[in-house]
Amino acid sequence: MNKVISRFGMGLAIVGLCSMSVSATIRYSLEDIEKESAQGGLSIVQSNGRTFFKGSIGKDFKLGPLEVGGDLNLYLATDGSSSYPSDLQLLTLRYVEYNHNNQAGIRYGRLSDVTYGYGLLMDSYDSGLGGDTTEFTLKKGGFKGYASVMGVRADALGTFGNVFAGRLSTEIPDVTFFGTPIRVGINAVKDQDGVNESVNGTTITRPEITGYGADLGLPFAGDFLTYYVEYAKLENHGNGFSTGFKGDFFDIFKYRMEYQSLESGFVPGYFSTAYEATSFDFATMAPSNAISGFIGNLSLALPSTPFKGGIQVESYSDRSLLSAAIGWSKINNTTGVINYIQPFQAASNPILESTVLYQTGGTFDYVVNLKRIYYSSNLFTESYTVGLRFNPNKLFNIF
């Protein structure tokens, strides 16, 4: 019998959604398809086993190179208590981002879809998928930045969960391969204290760990066709090697075909979308012997259609995995996304996310959100939110 830990909130709500885009892992968010610059609502939220009514109003601002997104929140405890968990904040600064002439930039907020190199070490990392609440909290955020100086680009990130990463990349000057520039990069990632969190009675754990990597790319046809090789090492857990082709045709057609050779204990893309949300035990989940495998993914977004979708297949000597995503815009007044991700540890540990928005054409829209995370084949957490979203810009127009 499945052990189901469920939460169901119904009320007047705005659903906080994470910002993601397709990278190595196929995954969409509602904001990839539909975005309002100002939103608000009322909802029922849970934090630390307690239930609260929440009212919120938020807006995104852009002032030249500076962008800011924030929410003003009001919480009322259903148990009558005046105390609030630290997760619930009166003022939420969702993100602050500054870019200077595409040469340097920094961002605070939830860090999602972060891939360094070609994904053998850090593949679509998300700092905020874990936790027992959909509320954005300080622990789910962090800083990331970049700077390009004299042809060398430096990237770095740090989260409040103590994950730190950096990358240096450049094109080798005055050196080509059959007329193609050679791009090289080095990466390092360190989780200082691992993951140790209780989510609705389930303990999520990962060990502290450090990883390194290096890569080389040959853009034979620019973004449309790049050949690459990559090497990565997880300290005390072996090495991995990958080689393949990837491409992007004007954000319409994206593909990736890759071969991987993995030593015993090495986990490809260990710092992944599922990193903060799922446990990992190297003794039972990592390859017990050297293995090899192939990855193939394909995504398509035709401008003349309301759909976008993608699929990724991974086939190794000891396991096969499948991930997929679909999004659509304004079909019978609905806009939505569905994501299904099978992380490397096992096909029995998938993550399922779905968000559907019904647009009435008036001040209020209906939102339905589902998130289910499996920790084993018969143990998962599941959360639902059903409610209403309003746009303050529309609301003010009725007065």
- Each residue's pLDDT tens digit, 87-107: 778 888 899 999 999 899 999
Query: pTM for the whole thing?
Result: 0.83
Quote the strand ranges of 301-393, DSSP E: 307-316, 320-331, 334-341, 351-359, 364-376, 379-390
pLDDT at 393: 58
Other CB atoms within 10 A of residue 215 CB: 23
For the stretch 382-395, pLDDT in tens is 776 666 777 655 65
Higher-confidence residue of 36 and 220: namely: 220
What does the pLDDT average to over 254-259? 96
**What total of structural domains would you count in the chain?**
1
For the stretch 142-163, pLDDT in tens is 999 999 999 999 999 999 999 9
**Domain residue limits at 86:** 3-397
For the stretch 172-196, pLDDT in tens is 988 888 889 999 999 999 999 999 8
Rg for the chain, CA atoms, rounded: 21
Half-sphere exposure of 110 (CA within 13 A, CB side): 23
pLDDT at 164: 98
User: Which of 54-58, 260-264, 302-306 is most confident?
Assistant: 260-264
Q: Are the C-beta atoms of 183 and 219 separated by less than 8 Å? A: yes
For the stretch 210-249, pLDDT in tens is 999 999 999 998 889 999 999 999 999 999 999 999 999 9
